[in-house]
Structure formats: C-alpha cells, structure tokens
C-alpha cells in the first residue's frame, strides 16, 4: 500500500485528437459487426450461444503449436488445476538472474479469445522478451461453459498457486517483482484478483503492481459520458457490452434494453443500490474535462427483479469499482490504460480516481486517438500505429515499475 499523496495520480495524455486510422478501423469494424450479427441471429434461432459464431471465427487466429524463439521459450503448465501458457525469457547471459513475472488474463468479454489467439500470444512473447520476464497467460473458462464466478475463480486459483515460493522459484521469478495484468474483461479479472490477493492473509507473496488495459469494472451505469459518447464507435458497441455482461452473469439476453436504460439502478431500488451508485458517481469521480455536456441517467422507477436475476451486478468480484475504500487502500500501484473512443473509458478513469483517493499511486495512460482493444492491433496484417504506441508505453511502464 502507498501512503496518501496528493500527487500520486499521474496522467499521460498521448497525442492525437481523432480516432486512429478511421478508414482501416471502419473496415475492421464492418467485419466484426457482421460476424456479431450472424452470431446473434444464430442464437435467436436456437443454434448457438450468443457469441458462439464469433468464438468459432476468432479461433481461426489461434496459434496451433508453440512457436518458441531464440529468446523466448513457450511451454504449457497447470496452476491450481487451471491451464496456462508460460513465456520464459531465455536471453543469453541472463539465465541465472531472477526475472520479472507477469500473470496475464486475456480479454474477450469473458466469452471469447484464448491464450492461443495470435494477438495475445505475440503480446506475451513481446513482454517476456523486452522485460526479460516470465509471462504466465491463464486459460480461464469462458461463457457459456463457465459463468460468473467461474472465470474469477479460475484466475484467482491460478494466481494463488503461482504466488508461492515453489512455483516462482521453479521459473526463476523474483518474489518481489510479480505483476498482474489484463485487458478489457481480463482487466476486470486482474483488478478483482488484485483486490482479493491484497486481503488474503494466506498469501504471503503479493503482486508488486497491477496493469489494467481499458478494463471493464462495473455494470450499474451504461450511460456514463463514455457510454453515451461512444455507443456506436468501433470496436466495442454499447449494446454488445451489455450482452457480454448478461452472458457472464448468466442472464437473459432479452434484458439488454433494461440494462441500457439503467433500470437496475433506479432511485426506487433501495439502500444497497444507493450505496453502490455512490461508488460509480461519474459527476464526482471523472475529471471535469470528460463530463462534456452529458447528464446522468438515473430513472425514478426501475425493475426490482433485475438485481434479483443478476446478483453479480453488486458483487465486487464481478464489479471491482464497487470495492470499499479500505480494500482499495491495500492495493499495489496501478497502471490504467484508457482510450477516448471507448465505452469503457470512464470505468478506468473512475477507478483511477477511487484508487488515488485511497492513497494508491496510479498512472493513467490516456490515448486521445485510442479505441477499445487498440493494443491488440500492434500485431498482424491489420496493424495500427496506436497499437504500436500503446504497446510500447505499456511495456515501458512495466520496465520502470516492476
């Protein structure tokens, strides 16, 4: 835990005043939206889960065999019964030196992607090589085979097993230099695990830092300024984010309109909901520059059955932004990447404010021309300049702070 410091929140605002390479992004988004639409139609016809077709198509990007390089050795392992891929730096002349460790959780809305997906595979290789690190990418269960809290339980059990002297020693990882990180839904899992690990007295080895890339941290307000501003901006659209939440929390996809209207957080929803709303009050937690001309959406009357159907909405393991201040005080320093053109921008910014108020050192790396998932586009044929820049800065922060 860091001592309270009024200067412990650092903002890095990267250049660019419009979305990065818009025509290329629009082309990518057209393909993604088309696949999403087909997947939702298949679900409505009873042929697959809501994201079943998308999952099948995304598997085409999987790396089918471990592609170790002269500087990175890649193996498969199991930690606490959870499968993972291990990327070990084998830099010449450094074999006997203790290395940094990074426990990484991939994104994909708790329903898509894997450690084998090429962007994540290449990201972990790059981290291992450039940080002279051991990166452990966890293969947690995905919806519909796993529902909340299955994904959380998988990454928690894996992390708890990894944070032992036996496992860290096996991979020559420095016990005092282990990070937890993840993007999007993986950022959600990383934040939740960081909170639990900080409180777990049975775990003597703690994460030194947490690095969250455009994380999703709450499902109580689908009308923050970033949700209103970027509702139809590539590549994560507002209704799709609600669908991901419902798939994770095992809810009916027909509840999307109710969530988007914030019916679950209406003023008549009781004291517990009122207390939760205070922890996501963007009018107090967001820097004024991000308010713009948007207004809060808090209905007078809502659906009291929504929270009964989706109890995970108020569970901090699913929504880390709802954690109590005393929990936040115990957390390690944080790096939070946010993107201007992302519905989840304000989740990250609000969490940064709450961490800073709790006395935690926070670096917010904000990209004015960034969009959701941009770092994954640092690789492959559809490479974006914003992907390369964000990857470089992310690795630089880890190099300086881990």
Q: Which two tokens stand for residue 259?
A: 């969530």
- Asked whether the beta carbons of 373 and 107 are under 8 A apart, the reply is yes
Q: 383 vs 17, 56, 211, CA distance in Å?
A: 20, 22, 23
Examine the residue annotation and report whether 385 is marked as an active-site residue of this protein. no
Radius of gyration of the chain (CA): 20
Instruction: Please state whether the predicted TM-score (pTM) of the whole model is above 0.75.
Output: yes
Q: 376 vs 122, 211, 336, 365, CA distance in Å?
A: 9, 15, 16, 16
Indicate the angle between helix axes 150-162 and 185-199, nearest 10 degrees: 50
Strands 334-341 and 173-183: unpaired
Give 42's contacts (C-beta < 8 A, 6+ positions apart). Answer: 48, 52, 53
Q: Which residues pair with 100 in a beta bridge?
A: 133
Give 86's contacts (C-beta < 8 A, 6+ positions apart). Answer: 74, 75, 76, 77, 134, 135, 136, 137, 171
What is the per-residue pLDDT for 1? 37
pLDDT tens, per residue, the chain with 402 residues: 333 333 467 666 554 458 989 899 999 999 999 999 999 999 999 999 999 999 999 988 888 777 778 899 999 999 999 999 999 999 776 666 899 999 999 999 999 999 999 999 999 999 999 999 999 999 999 999 999 999 999 999 999 999 999 999 999 999 999 999 999 999 999 999 999 999 999 999 999 999 999 999 999 999 999 999 999 999 999 999 999 999 999 999 999 999 999 999 999 999 999 999 999 999 999 999 999 999 999 999 999 899 999 999 999 999 999 999 999 999 999 999 999 999 999 999 999 999 999 999 999 999 999 999 999 999 988 899 999 999 999 999 999 999
- Per annotation, catalytic residue among 49, 137, 184, 226: 184
Q: Where are the beta strands (DSSP E) in 121-205?
A: 133-138, 173-183
- Coil, strand, or helix at residue 230? coil
Q: Which residue has the tokens 């990074």?
A: 102
What is the per-residue pLDDT for 91? 79
User: Which parts of 202-344 fold into alpha helices (H)?
Assistant: 225-229, 238-248, 256-260, 271-278, 282-285, 305-309, 325-328
- Asked whether the beta carbons of 376 and 342 are under 8 A apart, the reply is no
- Per annotation, catalytic residue among 221, 342, 346, 369: 342
* 104 φ/ψ angles, rounded to the nearest 5 degrees: -120, 140
Separation CA 121–CA 123 (nearest Å): 5
- Coil, strand, or helix at residue 181? strand
Separation CA 384–CA 347 (nearest Å): 24
Give 299's contacts (C-beta < 8 A, 6+ positions apart). Answer: 261, 262, 263, 265, 266, 267
Examine the residue annotation and report whether 372 is marked as an active-site residue of this protein. yes
Q: Which two tokens stand for residue 401?
A: 């702070």
Separation CA 363–CA 357 (nearest Å): 13
Examine the residue annotation and report whether 342 is marked as an active-site residue of this protein. yes
Nearest C-alpha neighbor of 39 from the set 106, 111, 105, 110 = 111
Print burial letters for 178-212: b (CB count within 10 Å at least 16), e (below 16): bbbbbbbbbbbbbbbbbbbbbeeeeeebbbbbbbb
Q: Which residue has the tokens 């590539």?
A: 234
Print burial letters for 135-156: b (CB count within 10 Å at least 16), e (below 16): bbbbbbbbbbebbbbbbbbbbb
- Per annotation, catalytic residue among 346, 372, 376, 390: 372
Nearest C-alpha neighbor of 216 from the set 47, 18, 372 = 372
């Amino acid at each position: 835990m860091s001592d309270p410091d009024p200067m412990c929140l650092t903002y890095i605002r990267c250049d660019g005043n419009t979305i990065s390479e818009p025509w290329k992004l629009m082309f990518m988004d057209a393909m993604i939206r088309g696949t999403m639409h087909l997947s939702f139609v298949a679900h409505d016809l009873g042929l697959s889960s809501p994201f079943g077709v998308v999952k099948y198509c995304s598997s085409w990007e999987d790396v089918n065999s471990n592609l170790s390089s002269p500087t990175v050795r890649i193996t498969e392992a199991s930690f606490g019964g959870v499968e993972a891929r291990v990327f070990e730096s084998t830099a010449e002349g450094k074999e006997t030196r203790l290395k940094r460790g990074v426990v990484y959780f991939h994104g994909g809305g708790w329903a898509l992607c894997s450690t084998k997906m090429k962007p994540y595979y290449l990201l972990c290789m790059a981290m291992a090589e450039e940080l002279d690190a051991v990166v452990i990418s966890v293969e947690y269960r995905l919806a519909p085979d796993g529902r909340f809290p299955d994904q959380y339980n998988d990454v928690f059990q894996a992390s708890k097993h990894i944070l032992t002297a036996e496992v860290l020693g096996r991979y020559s990882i420095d016990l005092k230099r282990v990070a937890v990180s993840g993007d999007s839904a993986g950022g959600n899992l990383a934040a939740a695990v960081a909170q639990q690990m900080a409180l777990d007295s049975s775990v003597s080895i703690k994460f030194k830092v947490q690095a969250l890339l455009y994380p999703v941290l709450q499902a109580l307000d689908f009308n923050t300024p970033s949700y209103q501003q970027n509702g139809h901006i590539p590549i994560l659209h507002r209704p799709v984010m609600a669908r991901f939440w419902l798939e994770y929390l095992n809810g009916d996809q027909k509840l999307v309109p109710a969530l988007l209207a914030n019916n679950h957080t209406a003023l008549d929803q009781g004291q517990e909901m009122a207390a939760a709303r205070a922890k996501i009050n963007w009018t107090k937690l967001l820097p004024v520059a991000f308010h713009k001309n948007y207004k809060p959406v808090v209905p007078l009357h809502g659906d009291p059955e929504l929270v009964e159907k989706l109890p995970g909405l108020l569970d901090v393991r699913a929504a880390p932004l709802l954690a109590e201040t005393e929990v936040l005080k115990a957390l390690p320093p944080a790096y939070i990447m946010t993107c201007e053109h992302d519905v989840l921008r304000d989740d990250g910014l609000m969490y940064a404010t709450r961490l800073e108020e709790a006395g935690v050192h926070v670096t917010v790396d904000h990209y004015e021309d960034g969009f959701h998932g941009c770092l994954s586009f640092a690789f492959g044929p559809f490479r974006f300049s914003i992907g390369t820049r964000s990857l470089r800065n992310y690795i630089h922060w880890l190099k300086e702070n881990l």
